[in-house]
Amino acid sequence: MENPGAGRFAPSPSGELHFGNLRTALLAWLFARSTGRRFLLRVEDLDRVRARAEESQLRDLAAVDVTWDGEVVRQSERGELYTAALDRLVADGRTFECFCTRRDIAEAASAAHGPVPLYPGTCRELSEEERQEHLRERPAALRFRSGGGTERFTDAVAGDHEGPVDDVVLRRNDGAVAYNLAVVVDDAAQGIDQVVRGDDLLPSTPTQLRLGRVLGFAPPSYAHVPLVLGPTGKRLAKRDGAVTLTDLAAEGLTAGAVRDALLRSLALPEGPLEQALAAFDPARLPREPWVFTGTLG
């Protein structure tokens, strides 16, 4: 393959990875390697206050056999790319200033109908007089003037999907770049043409596709994989007990044993990931969440 492209895993270093995160990382690795792609690792550390767990995350990924190509990329070091993209969007009239608080948005969303709460458009068409009045009270965030409507795509796991496009925040009112802009810019800049991630991010994909198209980027392929849920049916978290490699090691489980349990949950052979790679078939992946019942042993 002349230009194989790349897949990626992009954790936020806000804490230790739990085995649900590691399961998604395994899947992203398998999708990329099975298609001859490079596999890249990006640390999404835009929130520098909470970004403290990078070292332990990299150690845990390596412990379950996830390898990556090249150097680790950190979003905190890529500000010039985001500024350039924002400047293009502003110049093209694809942004607007927003002065809504989180409470404003929540109250408007509670009154809206539909499965996905969308920005209600409160600040989309402010007059200059209204804008100046708001600026005297608080700085503005910068939102994407998306044009609304929907975007359609075919997901390798979820199948054909169509969802609404939102006027998401691109730059917060404290000047920090927002996730939706950074992830689209980074994937394009790194040559990532395959995105494998948890299916909780499926609703954000139509907006990211639209944003990428406006910026002139080729759309990646997507595979949104089912999450691991805790015993109560909620997304796995530390409240569910021993869920990190550190916790599980204290119970006598090695990283290899955790890797093997995750592979079993995917109906793949245990052992080194190269063995699972030989048997990997996206069409045979479970389509339902894996429910953790309290033990991996």
> Are β-strands 169-171 and 141-144 bridged in parallel, bridged antiparallel, or unpaired?
antiparallel
Architecture of domain 6-77+226-291 in this structure: 3-Layer(aba) Sandwich (3.40)
User: pLDDT grade, residue 102 (50/70/90)?
Assistant: confident
Which of 32-46, 73-87, 106-120, 166-180 shows the lowest mean pLDDT across its residues? 106-120
Annotated binding residue 234 = no
Is 44 annotated as a binding-site member?
Answer: yes
Buried b (16+ CB within 10 A) or exposed e, 268-284: bbeeebeebeeebeeee
Banded model confidence at residue 240, pLDDT cuts 50, 70, 90: confident
- Cβ neighbours of residue 222 under 8 Å, at least 6 residues apart? 153, 155, 156, 195, 196, 205
- pLDDT for 127: 96
Q: For residue 233, count CB atoms less than 10 angstroms from its CB and return exposed for 0-12, middle for 13-18, buried for 19 or more.
A: exposed
**Per-residue pLDDT, 208:** 98
Residue 179 counted as an annotated binding residue: yes
Q: pLDDT for 120-161, tens place per residue?
A: 999 999 999 999 999 999 999 999 999 999 999 999 999 999
Where does the pLDDT of residue 51 fall: very low under 50, low under 70, confident under 90, or very high at 90 and above? low
11 known member of a binding site? yes
261 is in an annotated binding site: no
With beta carbons less than 8 A apart as the criterion, state whether 222 and 156 touch: yes
Q: Provide mean pLDDT across the span 111-116.
A: 54
Domain boundaries, the chain: 6-77+226-291, 80-186
d(CA 180, CA 194): 17
100 is in an annotated binding site: yes
Burial environment of residue 241 by CB neighbours within 10 A (0 to 12, 13 to 18, 19 or more):
middle
Architecture of the domain spanning 80-186: Alpha-Beta Complex (3.90)
217 is in an annotated binding site: no
Q: Is 98 annotated as a binding residue?
A: yes
Cβ neighbors of 119 (< 8 A, separation 6 or more) are 98, 105, 143, 166, 167, 168
Q: Which of 16, 101, 90 is nearest to 50 (CA)?
A: 16
- Which helix (H) or strand (E) is 181 found in, with range? helix 179-189
Q: Is 77 annotated as contributing to ligand binding?
A: no
Q: Is 10 annotated as a binding residue?
A: yes
Average pLDDT over residues 60-69: 96
